[in-house]
A and B are shown apart, each in its own frame.
Chain A
Amino acid sequence: MSEIENKAEHGSMDGAGECAAGDPKDDKGLGLGVIFFMVAFLVCFLSGWLLFPKLLYSKHEQPFNFDHELHTAEAGDCESCHFLREDGTWSGIPNLASCMECHTDEPMGETEDEAIFCEEYVAKEKEVPWFVYSKQPDCVFFSHAAHINGENAAGKMDCKTCHGPIGESTSSRPYEENRITGYSRDIWGKNIWGFKKHSWDRMKMDDCANCHVEMDGHKGYCFQCHK
Chain B
Amino acid sequence: MKIDRRSFLGLGLGAAAGIAVSPVGVKLTDDSSIWTQNWPWTPVPEDGEITYDPSVCSLCPGSCGISVRKIKGRPVKIEGADGYPVNNGGACLHGIAGLQYLYDPSRVKTPMRKNGNRFEAISWEEAISIVAGKLADIRTDGAPETLGVITGSAAGSMPALFKRFLDAFGSPNAYEMPSLEGNLQLTAATLHGAGNTIGFDLENSDFVLSFGAGIIEGWGSPVACFKANASRKERHAKLYQIEPRLSNTAAGADKWIPINPGTEADLALGLCAVLLSKNLFTQGNFTGGFQKFTAVIQKEYSPTRVEASTGIPAADIEALAVAFAKAKAPVAVPGKGRGDHGQNLKEFAAVQTLNALAGRLNQEGGAFVMAQPEYLSFPEAAMDEIAEAGAGKEKIAGSVNKLIEDINGSDKPLLNALFVHNANPCYTLKNTQRVKDAFKKVPFVVSFSSFMDETAMEADVILPASTFLERTEDVPAGAGLPKSVIGLATPQVDPVFNTKNPGDALIQVAQAMGGTIAESFEWETYDECLEAVAADIWDSLSEEGSVVVAEGVPEGTPAVDVSYLAANPTSVEMKGEGDFTLVAIDNMRLTGTIPAASPFAIKTVSDKVLSGTQTVVEINPASAKGLKDGGEAIIATEQGEAKVKVNLNEGIMPGVIGMVKGLGHTFDNPYVAGKGVNVNDLIGPVIEPGSGLDAAFGIKATLKKA
Residues of A within 8 A of B (CB): 25, 28-49, 52, 56, 87, 89, 137-139, 178, 180-183, 188, 192-194
Contacts and interface: CB of A to CB of B under 8 A. Distances in A.
Contacts of A52: 22-24, 27
B265 to A, nearest CB: 49
B18 A45 contact: yes
A34 B27 contact: no
A48 B34 contact: no
B31 A178 contact: yes
B291 interface: no
A29 B2 contact: yes
B18 A40 contact: yes
B604 interface: no
B31 A181 contact: yes
14 contacts: A29-B7, A32-B2, A32-B7, A34-B10, A35-B10, A36-B11, A37-B10, A41-B17, A44-B17, A45-B21, A46-B18, A52-B27, A56-B27, A194-B27
Contact of A48 (B19, B35, B37, B50): B19
Interface of B: 1-4, 6-19, 21-24, 26-28, 30-32, 34-35, 37-38, 44-45, 47, 50
A29 B2 CA distance: 7
Contacts of A25: 2
Given A43-B15, A48-B18, A33 B6 contact: yes
Contacts of A29: 2, 4, 6-7
B27 A49 contact: no
Contacts of B30: 188
B23 A193 contact: yes
B14 A39 contact: yes
A47 B10 contact: no
A203 B21 CA distance: 24
B351 to A, nearest CB: 45
Given A49-B23, A52-B23, A192-B23, A38 B14 contact: yes
B64 to A, nearest CB: 21
Contacts of B19: 44-45, 48
Name the prevailing secondary structure of the B interface residues: helix
Contacts, number: 107
Contacts of A178: 31
Given A36-B10, A182-B38, A44 B18 contact: yes
A178 B35 CA distance: 10
A16 to B, nearest CB: 19
B380 to A, nearest CB: 48
Contact of B24 (A30, A33, A48, A188): A48
B11 A37 contact: yes
Given A32-B3, A33-B10, A40-B15, A47 B22 contact: yes
A28 B26 contact: no
B22 A48 contact: yes
Given A28-B2, A52-B23, A194-B26, A44 B31 contact: no
A56 B27 CA distance: 10
Contacts of B7: 29, 32-33, 36
A180 B34 contact: yes
Nearest to A44: B18
A46 B24 CA distance: 10
Contacts of B3: 32
Contacts of B38: 137, 181-182
A188 B47 CA distance: 23
Contacts of B35: 180-181
A28 B16 CA distance: 23
Contacts of A31: 1
Nearest to A191: B23
Most buried by A among B23, B35, B45: B23
B10 A32 contact: yes
A125 to B, nearest CB: 16
B475 to A, nearest CB: 26
A38 to B, nearest CB: 6
5 tightest A-B CB contacts, nearest first: A48-B22, A44-B18, A40-B14, A33-B10, A37-B14
A86 to B, nearest CB: 12
Contacts of A36: 7-8, 10-11, 14
Contact of A43 (B4, B18, B24): B18
Contacts of A41: 14-15, 17-18
Contacts of A42: 14, 18
Contacts of A87: 50
A32 B27 contact: no
A32 B18 contact: no
Nearest to B45: A138
A40 B11 contact: yes
Most buried by B among A25, A43, A180: A180
A52 B15 CA distance: 14
Contacts of A137: 34, 38
Given A41-B18, A52-B22, A188 B27 contact: yes
Contacts of B47: 138
Given A48-B24, A194-B27, 17 more contacts: A28-B2, A30-B6, A32-B6, A33-B6, A37-B11, A40-B13, A43-B15, A46-B18, A47-B22, A48-B18, A48-B19, A52-B22, A52-B27, A138-B44, A181-B34, A192-B23, A192-B27
B22 A44 contact: yes
A158 to B, nearest CB: 26
Contacts of A44: 14-19, 22
B142 to A, nearest CB: 63
Given A28-B1, A29-B4, A48 B14 contact: no
Most buried by B among A35, A48, A89, A193: A48
A122 B395 CA distance: 70
Contacts of B26: 194
Question: In this complex, which of A36, A139, A194 has the most chain B Cβ atoms within 10 angstroms of its Cβ?
Answer: A36
